Structure formats: C-alpha cells, structure tokens
Amino acid sequence: MPSDFISRKSFVKGVGLGAAALTAGFPAFIPKIGEAADVIKVGQIEELTGVYAAVAQNEKRGAALAVEWWNQKGGVMGRKVEVVLEDNQNNPGVSVEKARKLVNQDKVVALMGTLNSAAALATSNAANSMGKFFIDSGGHTDLITGKNCHWNTFQTCHTTWQLTHATGFSIAKLFGKKWYLITPDYAFGHSLAEGYADVAKRVGGTIVANDLTPLGTSDFSPYLTKVAAAKPDCLLVLVAGEDWVNLMKQAGSYGIVKQFPIAGPYAELEAVWAVPPEVRVGYWGTEWYYKGETVLGKNNATAERFVSEYKKLYNEPPTPRSCFGYTAMDRLLWSIEETKSTDAAKMARALAGTHFSGLWEGGGEYRKVDHAMQWPVWFGKLNPHGTPGDPHDVFHILDRQEAKGTALSEDDAAKVCDLKWPS
C-alpha cells in the first residue's frame, strides 16, 4: 500500500480490531461539524519491499498504533491524523522522490520513517531542502546526527557509535580481542565497522578482517570459509534483515556457530524468529525489548498498554522496530500539539531537549546538540527455544548500558554537528 492513507477506518478493517478495543480508555475521534476533511497528514517512508521489508512492517505497525491513540484522544490540535505511506524500495534516490511527492502533492506537514541509512541520509537532505520536519525512525548511521546533521532532522534509533560502544567492551571481555567482521557495504555498515575499530583500539584488540558484503547478499560462503582460517576470538556479524537470516543459516551449515563465538551490535527479533533454533546463538545488543522490568521498568502503563494491544492486533509481540515507529510518530505528533503549529522550526525547537517517558524505564530525549535520541542499549544472549509459554521470548537480557558513556559526548557531538538553524 505505498500511497494509501492509513485512516482509522482502514486501519481497523485491515487488522480486524474490534470496536470494544478501540474505545477502551479513550473516546473515539469525532470530527467537528464541517471539518471532516480537516486532517493533519504525515508522510511515512519505509522499505516495504526488499531485504528490510519484515522490519519495516513493524515500524509501520508501531507508527499506526501511535496515530490510533492520538485519534482516540481527539486528534492533534483537534484534527484527525492520517498517514500517507510510501515504499522507497530500499533505494535512496526513490526515497527522495517519495519525500518530494509527499510534500508537494500530498501536502503532508512532516515526514518520518526509513531504515536504510543511505535512504535516511538522502531523505534528511531532501526534507531540509524543503524546510520540512523529519524524524528518522530506523536509520542508524552516525552521519545522520553527525557530519550530515540538520536542524529539522531527529534520529530515533541508536547511532552506530552507541551500538558498538555499548556492546564492544562486553564482547572483548567475554571472548577476547581478535575480531572478524562481516559488514554490509553502505553507510550503516561502514559506521558500525568504524565504531568497533575504535573499541578495539581502546582495548588493545585487533580487527583481523572486515569483509564488506553487498546489501541483499544471498550467498555468504565466500566470507564464511575465510573465518576458520583467520581463527578469530569472535565473529562479529554486522549485517541485518534478510542478510542476517541468510548468514546465520549458512554459518550453521558450515559449522561456524559451533566453532566460534558470534556477536554483534544487535539481533533483530524479526530475523531471529526467521531462523531455526540451532542457529539462534550468540551475544547481541538489543535496542528495546517487549518483556521484563529490566527494559520496561515497573508500572509503565504506556509500555504495558503498547505491548498488550500490539499482541492482540498482530498475534506476536512488538519488536524494537515497533518501538521506533511508535516513538517517532508519537513525538512528531506531540511536537505539533505542543506548539499548536506545523511549522518545522517551531516543532524542532520544542522537541529538542525535551524529556519524555517512553516505552522503557527512564525515558529519553532528543538532545539539543545533534538531535540524536539518548536512551539505553541492552545486551544479552539468545534463547534458542524461547521461554515456557512464550516462544517469541528469544532474548535473555544480561546488561543495560546507558547513553551517557556509550553515546558520543555532547562536546564531541558539537565538533561534528552544526545544526544551522534558519533565521
């Protein structure tokens, strides 16, 4: 549905949500007389086809739930919210075309979305040229809030710097300091490799190899056959989505999963659920988890409601991507409601530096210096078969790493990011 509106009516029809669930806790959105067409349109761009399609689906679901909740409360500025959804086909150029189409033809007031870091960068540049507010929900590269930062762009998921520094020291302590990297050959992968190289330098470690693989690789055998000869202390898998699925399956076939420890910046639930239990191995970061006080905290009613309603809608728990989509859309709509304006500069100034509770213990904020969201990264071990009564519970949380100490410091961020606000 690349260009369909996700209206309340179509959303309910598509997921089969009953009327009782819709009205629980909040009144349904009721437009004022004569204002049926008076809506606020938000443009969402996702990688709905290609290697990241499964994770993009969950970002879309999370964002849709945020829109539903706002509309149940009466909308934003008393107006119903609708989403115009576009597929960028995992292509930065297409993402720019879709961004321009959403702004110029569909008249959206703001943009959100993207997973592919190159697409996120391209969309951020396009939004800046059009003077539109943009929240990157899923593109991780440091460049988005680093050298390529813009006053109108906010980054929801963790930077690659934080992911590598929140996991790399633990990996070195657990397994040793001689690492073999298999890396996606684009902005995201390059940033991850740079982050782990920095960690290795700090701990006196060595990157014995860094194999760059094209996005969408189906055969990883040319890379996996070299791992045994290199004899690393740990194989670091930096690919994601379907590439992670293919690599882990083939690592199982080659016996790599039994010969060497495997770890990485994060293991996405969509990918873990897609592989057989025998290759659900290793130690990984995770950017959010749907279960347990370690992540959600105690008495977090919003998080509990999010997990509960999401499970009812989709018959599976939300993933970190679901959290990204919800958070990005919720904060975008909050910034409009808070300022009573769709002016991008007003929205951006309101959101920057404002703490919010979030779907995890302690909450977070998009910091003022670079608009990178500050929140924890969790580290743990995969559970091959899940836990009793919950086969989806494939992650055992071992540790929580706060943003302070793992994210780039504000002083260092200020050296690389110049937001250049409009006068």
How confident is residue 14, by pLDDT bands cut at 50, 70 and 90? very low
Residue 257, pLDDT above cutoff 50: yes
Cα-Cα end-to-end distance for the chain: 38
DSSP-derived secondary structure for 183-231? EESSHHHHHHHHHHHHHHHHHT-EEEEEEEE-TT----HHHHHHHHHH-
* Percentage of residues of the chain with pLDDT beyond 90: 91
Q: Can you give the pLDDT at residue 35?
A: 38
Q: Which tokens in the block code for residue 137?
A: 């929900």
Residue 7, pLDDT above cutoff 50: no
Q: How far apart are CA 359 and CA 305, in angstroms?
A: 10
Q: Can you give the pLDDT at residue 37?
A: 52
CATH ID of 8-158+295-372, from 3.40.50.2300, 3.40.50.300, 3.40.50.10490, 1.10.10.60 = 3.40.50.2300
Residue 354, pLDDT above cutoff 80: yes
Q: Tell me the pLDDT tens digit for each residue of 258-312.
A: 999 999 999 999 999 999 999 999 999 999 999 999 999 999 999 999 999 999 9
Q: Tell me the pLDDT tens digit for each residue of 199-248.
A: 999 999 999 999 999 999 999 999 999 998 999 999 999 999 999 999 99
Going from N- to C-terminal start, the domains of the chain cover: 8-158+295-372, 161-286+378-401
* Percentage of residues of the chain with pLDDT beyond 70: 91
Find the mean pLDDT for residues 188-208.
97
**Does 8-158+295-372 match 161-286+378-401 in CATH topology?**
yes
Q: Within the chain, what is the greatest distance between any pair of CA atoms?
A: 72
Q: Can you give the pLDDT at residue 288?
A: 98
Find the mean pLDDT for residues 322-330.
98
Q: Which tokens in the block code for residue 334?
A: 């909050």
Q: Can you give the pLDDT at residue 315?
A: 97
Find the mean pLDDT for residues 2-7.
40
Q: Residue 374 region, left (φ>0) first, then alpha (ψ -120 to 50), else beta? A: beta
Phi, psi of 337 (to 5 degrees): -65, -40
Find the mean pLDDT for residues 4-13.
39
The whole-chain average pLDDT of the chain stands at 92
Per-residue DSSP letter, 106: S
For domain 161-286+378-401, the CATH superfamily is Response regulator (3.40.50.2300)
Q: Can you give the pLDDT at residue 423?
A: 82
DSSP-derived secondary structure for 327-376? HHHHHHHHHHHHHT---HHHHHHHHBT--B-TTSTT-BEE-TTT-BEE--
Q: Tell me the pLDDT tens digit for each residue of 23-82.
A: 344 444 444 443 345 899 999 999 999 999 999 999 999 999 999 999 999 999 999 999
Q: How far apart are CA 91 and CA 119, in angstroms?
A: 6
